[in-house]
Structure formats: C-alpha cells, structure tokens
Amino acid sequence: MARPRTPKIKVLAAAALRAEGWSLKQIHAHLRVPLSTLARSLKDMEGKYIITRATFLREKLTPAERAELPRYLPHPDMMDELRAFTETHDVEMPDIRVLSTPTRATTARAWAERLKQFGSEAAPYLHGLLRQARICGVSWGETVMSVVESLPAALPGAPTRRRAITFVPVVGDVIEKEPTKASASNLAERLDERMNGDYQHAHSSSLRAVPAVISPDHNATNAEAIREFVNRGAGFRKVFGTPKQGSGPVPLIDRLEMLLTSVGPVDRPLGWLGAGLLNAVGLPRAQMKDLIVGDVSGVLLRRQKGGEEYASRFDRIRACWTGIREKHIDACQQRARRSGKPGVVVVALGATKAPTVAELIRRGLCRHIFVDQELFDAMSKMLASDRGVR
C-alpha cells in the first residue's frame, strides 16, 4: 500500500522550522513526518523556500497557507502563559494539540463539517493514547462521537492478538429524548468495535435505561425510589458499585486509566438537560454564569468565587446527577501520573469552551487536550489577560 502523501502545509512547516535551526529529528518528533520524507522534501525546498543561511521565505506562501501554517508551529507565547498558569496553581502542564477545522461558522452544516475535520485529525493521536490504556471511560456528546467515528476500524477478532481494552460509559442516558448515537453507552460499544474488533461488545459496559439525572421535580419519596432502582441495575453496579460497596470486584469507575471526554460551556451546562434542571431548581440563567464555569462529563464546575446565594440550588442540581463525579476524574488523573497512562483526554472546539478547559487545567484535571484554533486563540487571550479563571 502506498504511503499517504505528506500535506504540503506540513512540508512548509518543516522548512520554516529547519530555517529556525531545528534538526531533522526535532522536526520529525514535532510534525510526525517520516525522516526520509523530511530529508527529501527539505532538499526540494532549497532555493525555493529555503535559501542560504536557512531563511524561510514567508512571502512565498499563499494567503491560505500563511493562515494555516501557525497551527503546525510551536506557540511560544501561549506555552509560556500556560506554563506560568500551571506553575501558579501547582498543577501538571497538559499536552495541548491544536487541530484544524475548515471554518469557524456555527450553522448546522458548517458545524458538521468542523466536527468531521476535527475528528479526522484527532483520531490518529487518540488511537495511540487508547492503545496505552486497559480500561477507558467514555463520556457523551457529538465532539467525542466525531473522534470515535474517525478511528480506523479494527478487524473482527483483533483482541486475540493483544489484550483487549475495556470501555466504560461514565454517563447515563437522557431518557427524556429519543436514543442518540452520541450517548456514552453507544460510544463505548463503538470504541469496542473500533479498537478491539469486538462486535459482540463483550469488552464494553452499558448504562442504557439509566437516567443521567433524577429530576428534582420528583418528591423525596419518588426520587429515593428511582435512585434505588438505578443502584440495582447490573450495568450501574458494574460501573459505579453500590452505596455500601463491600467485598467483590472494584467498580470500573475506580480503575480508569483513561477518560475520553468533551466539555460543556457556561451558557449550556449539561447540554440539553441543563436548561430544564436550572428551571427546576429555580436558578436564573442570568446568575448561572456567576456560579458555574461549565461542565466536564456532566460534572458541573463551580467557580471559585461568586454565586454564594445560589449555592444550595447548585447542590440540588449536583445531587440529581447519577454519573461520574469530580473525585473519579481526579482519581483517574492520579493513577495516570503514577503509571504513565493517558489519564483525562479532552476534545473540544469553539471559543465558548475556553473557560471550561482553562478551569480543568487549573484544577489539574486533564493530561491531554485536543482543541481547534478558535478555542486555542480564546484560551491564549484568557491566559494572557490574567493567567486565571475568574
């Protein structure tokens, strides 16, 4: 099979880095272009883009190439700000990779194109991370789905050649709506197919029929009955254990080596569920931004300061949640630091997600981040302005 052709923009990036004095090995590690291809391509660039003393001729670039080229080069200003930010908060500096999308428009068609391109670019890197984990949690949402669906399909029976990966949904279903392909349970099964070649889904758990939230509209008696029903489900017990966990297998949620998740912005926490929950507990949308930064895997992230008068209502929303908790996300991170596993992997695009991603970094709750240029630019401005999340 012929080797895929290296995109011209990467060859241009290699020429620019070579002109800055980078070695072939450094360029290879940064751009992931084969050394043989680099050597050949850079030789072809001599006299056209690279001249004596290795000066890169940016004026040779087309406007489109000039706009896209920075995505393949280091971002020293942003990296310096991020390094200072993580040092200030005494947390690990995550690995950030900026991926391209064809547009920044948000119409339904444009958004679909953005997701498709983002997923396609993230998939090769995600595939490598997944191969390092034995137990991987997966959240919900169209961004996660775009990456999962872009993974190469494994041949049936692939687990017989290596140890299979166990995939764990960490969020229940939105039972108020029709079933969706972007549910955590469905994505866990798709990952089982893509990575293990297991179309019987023996290596993925399910939280189907488990409500993601127990509506606060229920009275205390009904809410307790629903929670008891949820706790008795075999799938729920396998993932989260029981309230009085004694002897027996350790719940999968306490063994995660990787968590694949996206994030929710402050104006749309918990996605479709958020608006209903806010109304149910009497939390005005105008005050929501004073209280919440956003969410990760359905876990609401409260701001450090502000919104104290609504704290009890925030606690009511959090009590309705049946899925993963912040303590589980933090524990996954701690295991990853000790073992070198991937830990929490965030995929997100769009400027509105920047405060949420920054808050995750501040709390030390992510090791790998994949973002688009729009989100990256928004984060750069945030960190440059105050190196913090207000």
Residue-wise pLDDT tens digits, 15-27: 888 776 677 887 8
Residue 9 or residue 168, greater confidence:
168
Mean pLDDT, all residues of the chain: 83
Indicate whether 390 pLDDT > 60.
no
Indicate whether 228 pLDDT > 90.
no
HEC sequence for the chain: CCCCCCCHHHHHHHHHHHHCCCCHHHHHHHHCCCHHHHHHHHHHHECCCEECCCEECHHHCCHHHHHHHHHHCCCHHHHHHHHHHHHHCCCCCCEEEEECCCCCCCCHHHHHHHHHHHHHHHHHHHHHHHCCCCEEEECCCHHHHHHHCCCCCCCCCHHHHCCCCEEEECCCECCCCCCCCCCHHHHHHHHHHHHHCCCCCCCECCCCCCECECCCCCCHHHHHHHHHHHHHCHHHHHHHCCCCCCCCCCCHHHCCCEEEECEECCCCCCCHHHHHHHHHHCCCHHHHHHHEEEEECCEEEECCCCCHHHHHHHHHHHHHECCCCHHHHHHHHHHHHHHCCCEEEEEECCHHHHHHHHHHHHHCCCCEEEEEHHHHHHHHHHHHHHCCCC
CB 324, CB 347: distance < 8 Å: no
Q: Provide mean pLDDT across the span 300-325.
A: 79
Highest mean pLDDT of the ranges 72-86, 127-141, 271-285: 127-141
Q: Which amino acid is at 338?
A: R
Residue 134 or residue 276, greater confidence:
134
Q: Which residue has the tokens 């405060």?
A: 355
Closest to 16 in 3D by CA, of 35, 44, 42, 47: 42
**338-368 per-position pLDDT tens digit:** 998 999 999 999 999 999 999 999 999 999 9
Q: Provide mean pLDDT across the span 319-334.
A: 93
Residue 219 or residue 343, greater confidence:
343
Q: Provide mean pLDDT across the span 24-43.
A: 85
**190-202 per-position pLDDT tens digit:** 999 999 999 999 9
Rounded to 5 degrees, φ, ψ at 104 are: -110, 5
* pLDDT above 90: percentage of residues in the chain: 40
Q: Which residue has the tokens 């303590």?
A: 327
Angle at 240 between CA 199 and CA 187, to 5 degrees: 30
**78-134 per-position pLDDT tens digit:** 777 888 888 888 998 898 988 888 788 889 999 999 999 999 999 988 999 999 999
- Give the confidence band of 247 by pLDDT, cuts at 50, 70, 90: low
- Give the confidence band of 4 by pLDDT, cuts at 50, 70, 90: low
**289-298 per-position pLDDT tens digit:** 777 888 999 8
**pLDDT given for residue 315 in this prediction:** 79
- Give the confidence band of 61 by pLDDT, cuts at 50, 70, 90: confident
Torsion-angle region of 202 (φ positive above 0: left; ψ -120 to 50: alpha; else: beta): alpha
Report yes or no on whether pTM surpasses 0.85.
no
Indicate whether 382 pLDDT > 80.
yes
**pLDDT given for residue 383 in this prediction:** 80
Residue 364 or residue 68, greater confidence:
364
**pLDDT given for residue 367 in this prediction:** 94
**pLDDT given for residue 101 in this prediction:** 82
CB 172, CB 210: distance < 8 Å: yes
**pLDDT given for residue 18 in this prediction:** 78
Q: Which of 45-49, 140-144, 162-166, 268-272 comes out lowest in average pLDDT?
A: 268-272
**pLDDT given for residue 161 in this prediction:** 46
How far apart CA 42 and CA 40 sit, in angstroms, is: 6
**pLDDT given for residue 246 in this prediction:** 62
